Structure 1
Amino acid sequence: MFAFSTEEILLMIGRIWWPFFRIAGAFALMPFFSNGHVPVRVKVLLAFFLATLVGPVLPTPPPVDPLSAHALLIAFEQLAVGAMMGLILSMLLHILSMLGQMLSMQMGLAMSVMNDPANGVNHALLGQWMVMYGTLLFLALDGHLVALGIVVESFTLWPIGSGVQELPLMMLIMKFGWTFAMALMLAIPAVMAMLMVNITFGVLNKSAPTLNVYSLGFPLAMMLGLVSILISFSGLPGRYTDLCLDALTAMHQFVGGTP
């Protein structure tokens, strides 16, 4: 018969229990996994399966009683670390959502909003389309596999029990500014094109006041906006690939990885 001491049992439980919390925290905000259409049971079971799979090869966690207050603190720390890692990747989808919102406003489609009851948000039509495209492209680039690899490697780079005080939280805050900057960078070509169209209609309205510019301008602005999106969309995959690389690199550096 096999005989295990209390320390050995706690060690075996800790090898799965603590990684489960970090992986579950990452799944809560990571693209595709955090989608409301993915059932919570699937997320929990997948996190538990990955924790069971990688737990035996991870560094030895600290021997902590799972029923103590210290164990509860470590569990919250692992959830926070995983959630912050997933938040960095979730900004990729927010970039495309803001891009679609900017383009919709320029085309006069700001009121065309689609309700997403699964995620509890409202998206512009173009924004929702951009988010779906970004998710599929992220999966096509195997970004989800790279992200899972970084989460597993984080247990070596940032061992369990290291806390969250020493994490580069300022870098995470700066990523919010990066999100707005990248969305504006992607939207500038189409926005400038639509600005020139609006200026042209303004000049036409001044030179020919009797012409009904509003009935003519709205369909033309929408049509020219679609042409601008088509032209901008041709270079979007390459730019979005660079953004995915930047986000994954930032995710790796956040837990102490080298650039």
Structure 2
Amino acid sequence: MLSLTSVQISAFIGTFWWPFCRIMGAFIVMPFLSSSYIPPMVRVLLAVLISALLSPMLPPVPAVDAISIGALFLAIEQLLIGFMLALFTYILIHVMTLFGAMMSMQMGLAMAIMNDPANGSSNPILSQWFLLYGTLLFLALDGHLVAIGIIVDSFRLWPIGTGIFDLPLMGLVGRFAWLFASAFMLAIPAILAMLMVNLTFGVLSRAAPSLNVFALGFPMSMLMGLLCVFFSFSGLPSRYSDLCLEALSAMYQFIGGSHE
């Protein structure tokens, strides 16, 4: 007759439960998987499947009673580690949202707001457009597979029970500054083009005060902005692929991986 002790049951549960917590924490914020269009049951089942495949290959897991306060703290710790790892990809995707918002403000389309039922927010239409484009580029570059691979490697590079405060948390905070810098880098050609248009109409208004510059300038600014959007798509994939590589490299280095 098969008999199991409470220690063996706790060890068996812990071997599967801790990886599940970390992976599920990542799936809460990871692009595409965190969308409300993906049913929660699909995310849970995917996390269960990855955890079941991963548990035999994990390094020794600390022996913690599965129904103790220590187990609760360890589960919360794994959720936070997964959340912070996936936050790198979340910031990467929202570079495109901020990029679209910058262009919308310059061309006068910031007032064109569209509700996003997936994220529960309201953003300019261009932001939604670029967000969708960036998500498709991220999936086409297999960024989601690389991100899941980094999460799997995190169990080797940052084993369960190592702690959370030894992680380079300031590096994660610095990614928010990287978000604004990257979006501005993508938008600066369009911003400069729109600045030249506004300067031109400013000079025209001084040269011919009787001319209704507002009635002429607003449509021309919008047409020039749409032209800038059209030309932005020519070099956007290569630049965004570099941003993807940079974000995934930072995600890998966050858990102690080498730069190579």
Q: How many Å separate the matches in 2 of 1:116 and 1:55? A: 37
Q: Which amino acid aligns with 1:213?
A: V
* TM-superposed deviation, 1:6: 3.2
* TM-superposed deviation, 1:8: 2.8
Residue 170 of structure 1 corresponds to 170
1:177-213 deviation line (CA, Å, top 9, x unaligned):
1111000010000000000000001111111112121
SS at match of 2:114: strand
SS at match of 2:115: strand
* TM-superposed deviation, 1:175: 0.7
Q: How many Å separate the matches in 2 of 1:200 and 1:70? A: 66
Q: How many Å separate the matches in 2 of 1:93 and 1:153? A: 22
1:39-82 deviation line (CA, Å, top 9, x unaligned):
22221221112111211111121111111000000000000000
Q: How many Å separate the matches in 1 of 2:41 and 2:152? A: 21
Residue 132 of structure 1 corresponds to 132
Structure 2 matches for 1:1-259, cutoff 5 A? 1-259=1-259
In structure 1, stretches of 5+ residues that fail to align are none
In structure 2, stretches of 5+ residues that fail to align are none
1:101-145 deviation line (CA, Å, top 9, x unaligned):
000000000100111123111111000001100111100000111
Q: Which amino acid aligns with 2:242?
A: D
Q: How many Å separate the matches in 1 of 2:36 and 2:203? A: 47
TM-score (norm 2): 0.97
Q: How many Å separate the matches in 1 of 2:213 and 2:94? A: 35
Q: How many Å separate the matches in 2 of 1:179 and 1:118? A: 21
Query: Contact (CA 8 Å) 2:154, 2:255: kept in 1 or not?
Result: yes
SS at match of 2:123: strand
Of 187-196 and 8-17, the range deviating more from structure 2: 8-17
Query: Contact (CA 8 Å) 2:14, 2:61: kept in 1 or not?
Result: yes
Query: Contact (CA 8 Å) 2:7, 2:65: kept in 1 or not?
Result: no
SS at match of 1:184: helix
The root-mean-square deviation of aligned C-alpha atoms, in Å, is 1.1
Of 137-146 and 11-20, the range deviating more from structure 2: 11-20
Q: Percent identity?
A: 57
Q: How many Å separate the matches in 2 of 1:38 and 1:128? A: 18
